[in-house]
Amino acid sequence: MPNILIVGGTGKIGTELLSLLAKHHASIRVLRRPNSKSQFSNPGDFEIVYGDLDDSESIRVALKGISQVFLLTRDQPQQGELESKLIDLAISAGVKKIVKSSAFAAGLNPPVGYGLTHTVSEQKLMTSGLNWVILRPYMFMQNFLELADLIKSRGIIPLPMGKTKIGLIDARDVALVAKTILVGEEHENRIYELTGPESLSLAEAAEILSNLLGRTIHYRSPPLWLAGLMMRMQDVSSWDVRMRKQLFRMIHEGGEDKVTGDVEKISGQKPRTLEMFFREYQNTFQ
């Protein structure tokens, strides 16, 4: 019977986490939303249970016999409440430990952007009486994939971060840390800030990509108001625009200019560099 429940297993971190757990022959149950549009291949022939954090009965069923939960959901206004509900159900179900994937911005005082919703469930978890681990990653390298069309067609990376440097992390290294914690015994009641191996400006990122592609990619830093307007024109919700603008401002002011070394300390492996990431996804940007 599986003893680890993975919530968010169809996303960027979750997909990689499942692949890593499959190699480890871990005993896993995956929560899958009935209306999920994500591509999902089951790397370990894991047990699938259909449910949604919004549907408590489905979560009760999903939690039967489970001792650990990996908890990740997408950014949404009710994220804190949905995750908190799961934490309550986990306590009733006798779960021992929850590993929550959060965000760096949740640790700021006051928290900003999506960190505001993460804080709600972080607080809930830390006072739950369960064993817990909270992962707070910096900005994902995978965000560049969302700009691939602009990079291909116009040769630009448009992000309002100015000249600041950022400890960018590959989301797959967040998964690596989560896997290490789920299959190990250590790491109780800890918060980890996860970064890649170097802090880079986006102009440096553009230069790395230019060298790989053999053509010049320019970094452009629009003013925040213009970035907000562009997001609205792409139908990003007003809530998301507000949250992202707060995050962009915090990063622009140097908030994520740091390298923590926690990925290697916990997993024993060096986190991926941005060059490694771009090389792997070169065809997407070519």
Ligand X SMILES: NC(=O)c1ccc[n+]([C@@H]2O[C@H](COP(=O)([O-])OP(=O)(O)OC[C@H]3O[C@@H](n4cnc5c(N)ncnc54)[C@H](OP(=O)(O)O)[C@@H]3O)[C@@H](O)[C@H]2O)c1
Summarize as ranges the residues that interact with ligand X (CB under 6 A).
7-14, 31, 33, 36, 38, 52-54, 72-75, 82, 101, 103, 114, 137, 139-140, 143, 171
CB of 250 to ligand X, least distance (A): 12
CB of 216 to ligand X, least distance (A): 25
For strand 218-220 and strand 156-158, is the pairing parallel, antiparallel, or unpaired? parallel
CB of 147 to ligand X, least distance (A): 12
Of the pair 120, 215, the CB lying nearest ligand X is at 120
Residue number with the smallest Cβ distance to ligand X: 11
Of the pair 169, 216, the CB lying nearest ligand X is at 169
CB of 205 to ligand X, least distance (A): 13
Of the pair 13, 93, the CB lying nearest ligand X is at 13
Q: Residue 19, class by beta-carbon neighbours within 10 Å (0-12 exposed, 13-18 middle, 19+ buried)?
A: middle
Of the pair 68, 101, the CB lying nearest ligand X is at 101
Of the pair 62, 206, the CB lying nearest ligand X is at 62
Give me the helices (H) in the chain, please. 12-23, 56-62, 79-93, 115-126, 148-154, 171-183, 202-213, 224-233, 238-252, 262-267, 274-280, 282-285
Distance CA 259, CA 245 (A): 23
- The per-residue DSSP string of 84-128 comes to HHHHHHHHHHT--EEEEE--GGGGSSS--TTHHHHHHHHHHHHTS
Distance CA 48, CA 33 (A): 10
Residues 6+ apart with CB under 8 A from 214: none
Of the pair 90, 139, the CB lying nearest ligand X is at 139
Up-side HSE of residue 249: CA atoms within 13 Å toward CB? 13
CB of 92 to ligand X, least distance (A): 18
Of the pair 195, 211, the CB lying nearest ligand X is at 195
Among residues 45, 38, 44, which one has the least CA distance to residue 72?
Answer: 38
CB of 109 to ligand X, least distance (A): 18
CB 256 within 8 A of CB 139: yes
CB of 86 to ligand X, least distance (A): 9
CB of 77 to ligand X, least distance (A): 12
CB 4 within 8 A of CB 67: yes
The DSSP secondary-structure symbol of 145 reads G
Of the pair 13, 26, the CB lying nearest ligand X is at 13
